[in-house]
Amino acid sequence: MNQQLQDERTRIRTAMDRLLAGQATASNGSLTVVALAAEADVHRMAIMKRHADLKNEFYERVRTESQQVPEAEKRLRETVTKLKRTITNKNAEIERLRQLVTNLTLAGAVLTQTSETPAGPNPTPGNVIPLRPRNS
């Protein structure tokens, strides 16, 4: 590992300690990767790509040492909750529509059967001439 990478890792670990101790000097003190990057004077994407293990270590320490859930995890949990609620609503709507289709199909069958088997001869009005002779 080259010296620049080692220096970044040292700064990130020092920044982790400051953030978790509540002694932020270069960031707003929130327990996020953005604040960690600002505190360590490292680009955020460097933490996300080159130092992903340190990012995971940071979030693990946030959970264990501060008894808090990281902001990213909170947002994901909220999104999952909303999506589950949406799925439940959609499933209920699909079931309601299936029942409606069944009822409409049955109603259509009843109407079709009723129109095909009339109770008696159809009376024709005086001004209507049938094109086909009636079957009597």
Chain centroid to CA 20: how far?
31
Candidates 53, 50, 17, 49; CA nearest to 36 is: 17
pLDDT tens per residue, range 33-57: 999 999 999 999 999 999 999 999 9
From start to end of the chain, where are the E strands? none
Residue-level pLDDT at 60 = 87
Residue of higher predicted confidence among 117 and 87: 87
If you average pLDDT over residues 104-125, what whole number do you get?
Answer: 74
pLDDT exceeds cutoff 80 at 135: no
If you average pLDDT over residues 60-86, what whole number do you get?
Answer: 87
- Name the residue with tokens 């699909």: 94
- Reduced 3-state DSSP string for 5-44: HHHHHHHHHHHHHHHHHCCCCCCCCCCCHHHHHHHHCCCH
If you average pLDDT over residues 70-91, what whole number do you get?
Answer: 91
Residue-level pLDDT at 70 = 74
If you average pLDDT over residues 61-72, what whole number do you get?
Answer: 80
| Identity at 24, one-letter amino acid code | A
